[in-house]
Structure 1
Amino acid sequence: DKLQAERSDLIFVIAATNKKASIEDLFIGSPADSINSIVVNACTKKGGITTYSRHGPALSFFTKPDVCVFGGDNSEPMKTALVYSMQETSGTSYAAPWIARKLAYLMYKVGLNREEAKALIIDSTLDWTSPSVKNNHHGFGRVPVKISDVLKVSNNEIKFFVSGILSDQLVQAYKIPVPIIDGKFPYVARAVLTYFPRCNRSMGVEYTDTELDIHFGRVVKRNSRITIDCINNNTQGDPGKLYLPEGMVRDKLRKWDNTKIVVEKFNSRKRAKQVGEGTYGLKIMRTERGVGFSAPIRFAAVITLKNIKKMNVLSTFINNCILSGWLVEQINVEIASKLYSEFEEELKFDY
């Protein structure tokens, strides 16, 4: 955790450790209780719990494991290669490399930084029909087998990153020009925020030193004040006296956790929203356990808007962003992969 907080180019992928089938209940063990790392548990091909799966949380609070992926089981072992033969086996150590490979692809071939890559991996596990409910065995969910499914965006969705370095208390953007259709916002939204905070072992369960809180939703005027109507009803940091017990904000809003997920549930009864002030807004607030702020901290949020009318408005959104002064950089996986291959090509010169 210390290494990952100090180095922006480093991320560990850790197997969530195994248990014997004879043991009924066992928490994940070291080093899989690392908060900044991506901890990977194993699941069956159908997404079930394996006989050797341990479970979280870590330090009684943090969501560990982060994700799960197929790792084989007694009835469905994983086929692995020996020098001259094939062997059937299973374990979290065989599940973790699937995620390490995906992270490497996202960072080195697609060009994402580690915060963006981690956020996208976690985002790929989420489902619109059931808002994220952490599972002590599966973490945030099961990662798709194919990297193309991790990168896939449906025609009726807008997906974009907001990332940067936060050295002060607040970063905010009140003008995310989401397209208005028929005078309303016909969208459901979700956001995944990731960051790598400094940690303090001597604090026990009060482990992370830095808290980043995300507010995302429509910009509205409330009591003569412009604010964000958060999709998860987050009122932390709002003016006035608010009854927000520590236990409630930890459980519901994941205060002090380094992965935040806010999501709206989609169903057939969902209706378009009033436009408010005409845009969506994003606010990320920083809190430190100690006095003052330590070193600047990197963050990334991957935000997805799903059009409930099944319309494709991506080009309109891009044009709106450019006209609003946003610097828009589109990710083209094929071009990025081709550039990577050309950069890695070995050149031989004739003298």
Structure 2
Amino acid sequence: MYNKDYPAKLIKLRSKDSQSGRIPAPIPGPAAWSYATKKEILKQFRELENQINTILESYVPLAKSKLLNADDVPLPIVFKMRKLAKSHRPDHILKELNSEIIAVHALGKLVVGLTEQSIEQLKEMISELKEIIPSSRQEWITKRMDSNGVYRDAVDPKWNREFELIHELTSIDLITSYTLGDALETMSVDDFESCKKDGELKVRFFKYESEIDDIIFSSFLTHFSNKGIRRNKIERLRHSHKIDTYVVPYVSDEIIKQMADFPGVETVSNFTRFQLSANGQILEKQKLQVLLPEKDRDYPRVAIVDSGISVNNKHLAAWIEAQETFVPPNRQNNYHGEFVGGILVYGHLANPNIQELIDSGVKILDVVVLPDPDLESIREDELLDALEEALDLYATEFKVWNLSLGSSRLCTGVISDFTAAIDELQDTYNVQFIIAAGNYQKMREIWPVEDVFVDDADRISLPADSMRAITVGSIACEDDHTTLVKKGEVTPYSRRGPGVGLSVKPDIVHFSGNPKNFPIYSINGTGELVADFGTSFSAPLVAGILAEYYQQFPTNLSKTTAKALLIHGSRHPITKKVVSVANDLYFYGFGQPKRIHDVLYGDEHEITLMFEGALNPKQNLNWIKISDFPFPQSLCTGNKIRGEILVTLVYEPHLNPRLGSEYSRSNVDIRLRSIVNGKPKTITKGIAAGEVPDAEKWEKTQMTNELKWSPIKQVQFLSPIGKEGSDEISLELFPTWRELTDKEVIPFSVVITIRDPKKVAPVYTEVSKLLLQSFQSDDINLRSEPARINYRG
């Protein structure tokens, strides 16, 4: 139970905490080659030459025949990389070829733009290198003294160019042309039928950021002009400003395939349609009484983007603050929207066995966008138009928007137009979308799942792959001997991660029904209890909790800090501990969240600290170092420190949807270091990093176990009995960018809890005194006590 006498502290960063110098990083040695011997490298080079010859003979002539100014227009060529880390990218190769990466799809699948001349030049490069490959990489390695006077391995300057080219070429697994199979990767038979039914489809072009884009588009129009595709019939899709996607008339399935085979076209796809994510309703006999809000009382606010709430719903009418309707009344079916609204207001009464629910009432913005599924569905562009209109009107008042809707399109290496657009909307309007992870209709038949990478059938679907959104999965509310999973375990239908670029999705989980005997309950339009299950009904439980964060926080709460607090308080629903197994992160996310009072109030044996800021390389604010991190002396004994420190970091990376699995363009790491024997030693580790042998720390392992490029991170120090260390502790936060052009401002928030698990040390008192000595800080006293709403009579 929380104690208001021990509030969290909001710390203001000092000027000395922002560092302008070089970001701390180990000095890299000469790159490793993927092959150790000259014989192996020669074999690899011959294979690459054969692949290039195939491109020149079979692909280039046909592709050029479709283009205007064909000699000057790059063709999309795929480099499939053997290694994923940035250090293995073909940067030196592309620089010599005067080329660049124009897209990234799945991990390691790079699409580069190469003219015929550049492809020939690449072939010549390989031929020249074959003549000078050393018997061993070590022949080109020498020793050189660094700035600290230490001799280190270095490449002989005479061979710098050749060394890097061989390194990059041996990191390439395959060079091939971009095919219609790549462009149609997400299209199923049903999707072709959808294009025909809509009478139009989406064509997305690679973007070169030069006059090449105009040449390719003109070539496309010329090539298809005699097939019914005219310029006046094509319209640019306006919702994402970072992608060149056009709405094109449907002619035939064959023309779709021809478009996909056109050089310069990245994807051809149908418009995604969104449907309600519920699994069937059961009507109960019990009826709940009407609850009414108190006058002049402030309540959390949630915008529900759903199927609407009937004007005749007496149980919810008083809780609806405003309504925006985009579906005519005769095309509505309010069941789903009323279930979502009902669980927000009446969830604690309908489900008395479920904890961590908002039981104090929620004011609702009812955004009616989803029509009766028996009559029609809503298309992605229509949904975005409605969302944007509603956001224009209500984004200032409503910061939390619940989207309990889903689609059949699975998360892939390509960022969809819709995902890019809703991420832009959240940035533009400074709001937080809460999105259901989606329901896997077949349902898993095995639990637990040992390897998430075996099958993608139950992976999250649009729009749950949104990088900015909080995606919510479902955990079982009850169980018995007939259910596959126990209470608190992930339900068989809850879709799982990973998200884009192996990011953590879902972000968190909450309760829903455990099929088929244990549904979750809400109310219908007349107040009768109805039973159902689905991730649709977990999402509003989280939306209500987050809305209470905004309502209770004493000052304006930033979106980044709100998310950081939500994640920081989340725990594994079974173990009640931080989620610490990498595989679990893709099912549970960071766990089940708590209400804000339980996150920000503690006791004498713990303290929670918060700070927020921005890394801005353009202003020389390169990284953060708090060299006098306030750590209590009572947790120090001799040369050991003990206790628990949990650190949660949330940041907002620059996003580029054209670069697929590399959508997130920056990474921020955080660590605590303690002085041990006169030298700094990192004392925290990533919450899942304990599973990673040092020898396996390559890029994919870092992305799954250390959450590299993921905008949410947690690190932890945990030692009840003590580990080597001292009270000289520093906190460091430092970024890396994929490219120099990605060096944008990175807003961040950090939440830290220092705790004595033994409940002995006066942690709160000691840290508070240290803060008074060196920092400017404020107590976070929440606005009010949550008042549970019950029947009055």
Give TM-score, length-normalised by structure 1: 0.81
Tell me the CA shift for residue 258 of structure 1: 0.7
Name the structure where helix makes up a greater proportion of residues.
Answer: 2
Answer whether contact 1:190 1:264 (CA < 8 A) is retained.
yes
Q: Does 1:197 align with 2:629?
A: no
Gaps of 5+ in 1: 235-241, 339-351
Specify the alignment match of 2:698 in structure 1.
Answer: 245
Partner amino acid for 1:98? L
- What pairs with 1:125-144 in structure 2 (closer than 5 Å)? 125-126=570-571, 132-134=580-582, 135=584, 136-144=586-594
- What pairs with 1:259-338 in structure 2 (closer than 5 Å)? 259-265=712-718, 270-273=720-723, 275-276=725-726, 278-292=727-741, 294-311=743-760, 312-324=762-774, 326-333=775-782, 336-337=783-784
Q: Does 1:77 align with 2:509?
A: no
Instruction: Tell me the SS of whatever aligns to 1:35.
Output: coil
Q: Distance in 2 between matches of 1:306 and 1:104?
A: 27
2:507 to 66, 75, 82: 66
Instruction: Tell me the SS of whatever aligns to 1:64.
Output: coil
Specify the alignment match of 1:93 in structure 2.
Answer: 536
Instruction: Tell me the SS of whatever aligns to 1:284.
Output: strand
Specify the alignment match of 2:602 in structure 1.
Answer: 153
Answer whether contact 1:129 1:265 (CA < 8 A) is retained.
no
Instruction: Tell me the SS of whatever aligns to 1:254.
Output: coil
Tell me the CA shift for residue 160 of structure 1: 1.0
Partner amino acid for 2:707? R
Q: Distance in 2 between matches of 1:138 and 1:129?
A: 12
Supply the RMSD in Å over aligned alpha carbons.
3.0
Answer whether contact 1:12 1:38 (CA < 8 A) is retained.
yes
Change beyond 3 A, Cα 1:204–1:337: same
Partner amino acid for 1:51? P
Q: Distance in 2 between matches of 1:54 and 1:83?
A: 29
Change beyond 3 A, Cα 1:245–1:256: same
Q: Please list the CA deviations of residues 126-172 of structure 1 after superposition, one character each: whole Å capped at 9, or x if unmatched.
A: 3686662242222121224x554344535422211121121132111
Specify the alignment match of 1:29 in structure 2.
Answer: 461
Q: Identity, % of aligned pairs?
A: 27
Answer whether contact 1:71 1:92 (CA < 8 A) is retained.
yes
Tell me the CA shift for residue 29 of structure 1: 0.2
Instruction: Tell me the SS of whatever aligns to 1:107.
Output: helix
Q: Distance in 2 between matches of 1:75 and 1:120?
A: 34
Instruction: Tell me the SS of whatever aligns to 2:439.
Output: coil
Tell me the CA shift for residue 314 of structure 1: 0.6
Change beyond 3 A, Cα 1:56–1:22: closer
Higher RCO, Cα 8 Å, sep 6+: 1
**Structure index of larger Rg:** 2
- Structure 1 segments, 4+ long, off by >6 Å, are none
Tell me the CA shift for residue 257 of structure 1: 0.8
Tell me the CA shift for residue 103 of structure 1: 1.3
1:170 to 623, 629, 638: 623
Q: Distance in 2 between matches of 1:253 and 1:55?
A: 18
- Aligned residue pairs total 322
Gaps of 5+ in 2: 1-419, 446-456, 478-486, 688-694, 786-793
Instruction: Tell me the SS of whatever aligns to 2:544.
Output: helix
Specify the alignment match of 1:349 in structure 2.
Answer: none
Greater mean deviation of Cα atoms: 120-129 or 152-161: 120-129
Instruction: Tell me the SS of whatever aligns to 1:68.
Output: strand
Q: Distance in 1 between matches of 2:500 and 2:636?
A: 47
Q: Distance in 1 between matches of 2:667 and 2:428?
A: 18
Specify the alignment match of 2:685 in structure 1.
Answer: 232
Q: Distance in 2 between matches of 1:26 and 1:211?
A: 28
Partner amino acid for 1:206? E
Answer whether contact 2:636 2:642 (CA < 8 A) is retained.
no
Q: Distance in 1 between matches of 2:443 and 2:667?
A: 39
Instruction: Tell me the SS of whatever aligns to 1:305.
Output: strand
Q: Distance in 2 between matches of 1:78 and 1:49?
A: 14
Q: Distance in 1 between matches of 2:551 and 2:718?
A: 33
Q: Distance in 1 between matches of 2:531 and 2:635?
A: 57
